[in-house]
Each structure stands twice: as structure tokens, then as C-alpha cells.
Amino acid sequence: MHSVRMCFPIRGLLVTALTVTALEGRVLADDAREAPTGIRHQITGLFMPEREGDLREAVALVPGVKLLAIDYPNAEATFDYDAARVFPGAKPEQIVERFDQKLREASRSTFGVKPLRSMPLEKLKRVEVPVAGLDCKACALSAYESVYRLPGVELATASFKDGKVTALIDPEKIDEAGIARALKQRGVTLKSDNPE
């Protein structure tokens, strides 16, 4: 009997310990649910590293959206937002479109949002076109816009410091000549056309 009596206090302590553990687990689960989820999107307009600050300023003007990280090499950014609050009534397939509209409004149409790239990087080809005359952000933006909107272009950059426009392309849809043509149509001087 004596050993049975000792079990009751021990069992009471055990039940108390299990209850506290379960409650702590529930609190931790609640905290985990409230942690930033990190929603990634491809960003248009992120054509040179100097534009990262501009993107931060534009996102700060979009209520309910927090910029968590920028991945410049892949032109992607990670955000925290509650889609139901920021884009009320939007269906899941409309969220990127609505976010794009809000970011375009906040950035005066210099940034936008696209779905993440669906084609694997190993299937894309990197193209570099040497250019002349990209001596300001507006000139670089113009060259960038003439390239990134082309079918088959998954990612583009334009650097006046480096004097080149680069693109990751689907070689089945576009080639380097197509990129060069688009730049010429926009009035961008190619270095091959401008011997120094």
C-alpha cells in the first residue's frame, strides 16, 4: 500500500507536467502560425543592384505588405502579407495580378510582380549584348523594358556601369539576334554598331 500512496503524488506531478507541456506546445504552435510565411514572387524592374533601394521604398508604400528579402540575381523577392486582407475578394490565381497592380501604382510603373519562373535554370541560356549610352537609370530601364517583355525572356538586367544588357532566355522561343533587334528598335546603340 505504501508504494501505491507514493504513486498518487507522482502521478499528479506527471499529469501537471504533461498539461504544462501540452499548453507550451499549443503556445509554440500559435506563435509558429503567426510567423512570417515568406511568399516569393519574381520582380520586374529589378534590372540592376542599385534598384534594390527603390524597390524597398515602393513596397513600403503598399499597405499590409512587408519586404523580407531581395534575391537580385534571380530578380525575386520574399514578402510577408495576408492575401485576404491586402487583396480582399481575390481568388488565389488573382493575387499576383493584384499585387502587380499595387506595386506598379506605388512605384509609378517601374516595378511589377510576376509568378515565379517555371522553367528550370539549366534549360535557359544566358545572353549578353554589349551596349553604349546607358548612362542613367532611365536609359537602363528603357533598355531593360524592351527586353524583359519579349516572349521567351525569363530574366533581364541592364547595366550602364557594365555597358551591357543580359537576359536568361528560352532558346526555343528567342535568340540573341531577337534581343539585339528589340534593343535597336528601342533606340539603344549596340557596341558592335558603334566601333570605338
Q: What is the pLDDT of residues 160-195, one digit of tens each?
A: 788 899 999 999 999 999 999 999 999 998 987 655
Establish how many alpha carbons lie within 13 A of residue 134's alpha carbon, considering only the half-sphere containing its beta carbon.
27
Query: In the predicted model, is pLDDT for residue 125 greater than 90?
Result: yes
Mean pLDDT of 46-52: 91
Helix, strand or coil, per DSSP, at residue 148: helix
Mean pLDDT of 77-104: 96
pLDDT at residue 120, as a whole number: 86
Compute the mean pLDDT over every residue in the chain, rounded to the nearest whole number. Answer: 82
| Residue with the three cell numbers 551591357 | 164
pLDDT at residue 149, as a whole number: 86
Cα first-last separation, the chain: 103
